[in-house]
Amino acid sequence: MNTITPRKLTLDDIADVRAYEREREAFKAKVIAMKQRRRLALGPFVSVVFENRDTIRHQIQEMARVERLATDEEIQTELDIYNPMIPEAGQLCATLFIELTSDEQMREWLPKLVGIESSLVFHLPGGRTVRSITEAQHASQLTREAITAAVHYVQFEFSPEDINALDSGEATFASDHPAYLEEIVLSDANREEFLIDLLP
């Protein structure tokens, strides 16, 4: 009998440090290859990485390794923080990075890009659109109105009709923020990855 793997991670999914060291290189290579299909570069300095169970498990494992997290309580805290970024069926979850390399760029662009986390949109066949929603836990932490953060966590809610549209043909991904108008065409590999997340 086939059993369906739950989407959210539990303590049993996180290997202890010695066990993780044994699988680390192979798992890291798998996640890097996966992220190449799940990362969208929008214009000169915004990128969006669409998360899934493996990318989030990698994040938690690496954090546990670096910070020497060893107790169930410490690992559970990380699970509570990161599990909301694993998409449920009908949902995509992503991390938006504003990749600025100098203090001058940050002073110029972080004030200009306030609201960018709500400005990401999929344009699908048939005129359908799906817009980003700020992940609830992250939204509660956005306290500065005059400057944006360099990292945001966002979600996209797809109806069954939206999923069918994404599956049916060419789609684009865009920022329609007035200070950062950019658009790219999704590759077949992008769409295949996203449909894995979206379908039950």
| Structural domain harbouring 133 | 11-198
Q: What is the pTM of this model?
A: 0.90
Residues of the chain with pLDDT under 70: 1-5, 136-144
Report yes or no on 1 lying in a domain: no
Report yes or no on 76 lying in a domain: yes
First to last CA, the chain: 18
Report yes or no on 6 lying in a domain: no
Average pLDDT, the chain: 92
Q: pLDDT digit string (tens) for 56-73?
A: 999 999 999 999 998 999
Report yes or no on 94 lying in a domain: yes
Place of tokens 């410490």: 74
Report yes or no on 2 lying in a domain: no
HSE, side-chain direction, 13 A CA sphere, residue 171: 28
Report yes or no on 83 lying in a domain: yes
What is the per-residue pLDDT for 140?
60
Report yes or no on 194 lying in a domain: yes
> Structurally, how many domains does the chain consist of?
1
What is the per-residue pLDDT for 141?
62
Looking at the DSSP bridge assignments, the partners of residue 20 are none
Report yes or no on 4 lying in a domain: no
